[in-house]
Amino acid sequence: MPFQNLRVNSQFYILHKDGTPYVEVGAIAGVSNPVPDGTQPVMFGQPMKMVVDITVKVGEQTVTFQKIPAGADIADANFPGGGNMVISGSRESMNSEVAAMRNRSAEILRSIDHHRAIVDACGKMMEILNPEFAERQRQEAENKALREEISELKAMMAELLKPAERPSTNNPKKQQV
């Protein structure tokens, strides 16, 4: 149902896309009459773009979305306090939007291995194209290996010194006291 046809107390869906996405369901408190959008110049022969303001009650809060396309049933909206969101009076349209968002993210997750392979291949190409880069990578790997060996040696030395730090019970002079 287009925004201009929404009625008071109808359900209204707000999809917050920033951070971890979530949906809020509110009730329409009011819809303004459609007015021409004065921000867009109109070419001769084209119909004027009409917009509405929609006031929604979500929980205890009342929010107004301004200049929403009157003939659309779903739209991107910027919350008055900032934020990326999609709004709709249609549950079906919101379901489609959420499904599309999920599919985009699932596609990205499926392509992770492909992009890791690209990063590895680019690193190898940079080593070929930039000998200085290759030398620096080799030195960093060598330094890391040396640090690991030093850590292992420290641990072994600590283990070897532990028995020497404990008082010995085999000392005959101490037993005579």
Reported as a single tens digit per residue, the pLDDT across 107-159 is: 999 999 999 999 999 988 988 888 887 788 889 999 999 999 999 999 999 88
Reported as a single tens digit per residue, the pLDDT across 10-25 is: 999 999 988 899 999 9
Task: Give the end-to-end CA distance of the chain in Å, rounded to a whole number.
Answer: 100
Q: Indicate whether 57 pLDDT > 60.
A: yes
Give the residue, 81 or 44, on which the prediction is more confident: 44
CA angle 70, 74, 110 (to 5 degrees): 155
Going by pLDDT thresholds of 50, 70 and 90, the confidence category of residue 173 is low
pLDDT of residue 118: 96
Give the residue, 44 or 149, on which the prediction is more confident: 149
User: DSSP letter string over 73-102?
Assistant: SEEEEE-TT--EEEEES-HHHHHHHHHHHH
Q: Indicate whether 35 pLDDT > 70.
A: yes
Reported as a single tens digit per residue, the pLDDT across 65-107 is: 988 999 999 998 866 566 789 999 999 999 999 999 999 999 9
Q: Which residue ranges make up each domain of the chain?
A: 3-105, 113-163
Give the C-alpha separation, 148 to 50, whole Å.
68
